[in-house]
Amino acid sequence: MNPSASGWISKFGSLSKEHLDSYTNFDSLYDDLLVNGFIYGIHLEVPVFIETEHELSEDEVAKINLLSALYYSYRFDTGDSNFETFVDTVFNYYNTLDLGKISFLNKILTGTKTDAQLEKLIDSRIYLNGNIFNRAFGNSLSNSLLFIDILLFRAYLSNKTSLIRHAQLLEYVTVNIAYQALNSKETSKSDEKLIQLLASSLTYVDVENANFDGSYLDILQSNFTSCEKKYLLDIACLTVWEDHSLDYTESEYIYGLGKDLNHDKNTIEIALKNVRIFFEKNREKIPYLKDTNLASKFYDGMTKNVSKIILRNSKRLKKELSESKELVLLLTKSTTKELNEEERKKIQTQLLDIFKSIPSLAIFMLPGGAVLLPIFIKLIPKLLPSAFDDNRIKEN
C-alpha cells in the first residue's frame, strides 16, 4: 500500500477486511496508537497488519494511523464493519466540521468518488502547510493534534450536539494544558518547538486570542468523556517528560491535573510510565527534538524525498522487467505447447502493461508532464503499468 498514491484508501479497506479482529476494543486501539506515537502527535509506526513494500515517511505514517483509528473507532462505536459505509460516514463527519472542502483542481482529479475525495481531505488534515516547498521539509509538517479528529468522530457517532463547539473546547483545553505543563518546569528549546507545533496544529481555536490563565480547569468535569480525559492526561505527561525528568513542581502539576480529570493515582503513574518508555525508545526519531537549522531541514527533507522516489521506482522497474521476462518465456512456451487459462491471462495482463507504459512515459516527458499525467490517469483509469500501482486491488 502506498499512501502517497491515489487509491490507497480503497486498498486499506481491502486489507482491513482480513484483519477485523486486530483490536478487541477501543482501549486496545488506543494503547497501540500510544506506542506508535499517534496519541502524542509523533508519527513513527503503523499498525502491524499494514504491510508496506517501502519505508514510509512521517506524513504517510500519519495518514495510515488516522484512517485506521477512524475505521476501528467506527467499528467499535457502531458495530458495523462495512468499509464503504464507513467512508461515507467519515466524509460526512468532516463536512459537518466544515473541513470537507477541496480545491477545483482536486475535484477534477478525484471526480465524485467519495473515497478519492476523502484521500484529498485527509491530505489537508495531515499537512500544516500544503505547498510543495513546505512539504520538502519533511518532519516539520505533520499535524500533531490528529487524535482530536478521532475523539470528535466518536462524539459525532454518538450524535453529540454542537460538535464544532465541542471541538473548540477540546482544542482549547489541550493547548492550555500544554502551556500550564511548560510553566511547571524550566523550559528548553525543544519545549518551545513542541508548543509551537501544538499551536500550529490548532484547527478550531485562534491561538492569538486564546487565554492561558488556568481557567480551563472549570470546564474539565462536565464536558469530556473518559477517553478524552485520558488523552488530555497523556498530552500533559508528554509535555513535562520531554527532558527525561520529573521534578517536584512537575509532579505536583501532573497529579493535580490527574485528580481534576478524575483519574486515580495508578492511572497517572501508568501515563507517566508510558511516555517515559516512549521517549527512551524513540528519542532519536522524534523530529522536533532534532536541533537543525533551516538549510539542514530543507536538505534532509529533499534527500529523503529523492531517496524515496529512487528506491520505490527502482523496485517497480525491477518488478516490471521481471514480469516482462516471464512474458517472453510464456510466449516461447506457447509456440510448442497449449497454455492454461492462468498463463493466458498473465500474457494478456503483461502485454497490456507494456503497451500502457509507452504512452505513460511519453506523457511524462512532455513539458508539464508531471502535472498532465495524474489528469490522464484520472480520465483513463489504470493507465500506469501494474508494477507502478501500489494500491491496485488484486481481483480473485
Cβ-contact 69, 150 below 8 angstroms: yes
| Distance of alpha carbon 35 from alpha carbon 282, whole angstroms | 10
147-192 per-position pLDDT tens digit? 999 999 999 999 988 899 999 889 888 888 888 877 766 656 666 6
Query: So what's the pLDDT on residue 310?
Result: 42
Closest Cα partner for 289 from 189, 183, 198, 200?
189
Closest Cα partner for 246 from 214, 269, 216?
269
Question: Is the torsion defined by CA of 259, 262, 263, 264 positive or negative?
Answer: positive
Query: So what's the pLDDT on residue 138?
Result: 43
Query: So what's the pLDDT on residue 266?
Result: 94
Those residues of the chain that have pLDDT short of 70 are 53, 100-112, 128-142, 184-193, 195, 207-215, 242-249, 287-328, 331, 350-396
Query: So what's the pLDDT on residue 226?
Result: 92
| Distance of alpha carbon 162 from alpha carbon 157, whole angstroms | 13
219-266 per-position pLDDT tens digit? 777 789 999 999 999 998 888 875 556 665 677 888 989 998 999 999
Q: Which neighbouring-strand residues pair with 90?
A: none
Burial of residue 255 (number of CB atoms within 10 Å: 0-12, 13-18, 19+): middle
| Distance of alpha carbon 145 from alpha carbon 151, whole angstroms | 11
| Distance of alpha carbon 56 from alpha carbon 287, whole angstroms | 15
Residue 98: phi and psi, rounded to 5, are 65, 35
Query: So what's the pLDDT on residue 192?
Result: 66
| Distance of alpha carbon 190 from alpha carbon 283, whole angstroms | 12
pTM over 0.75, yes/no: no
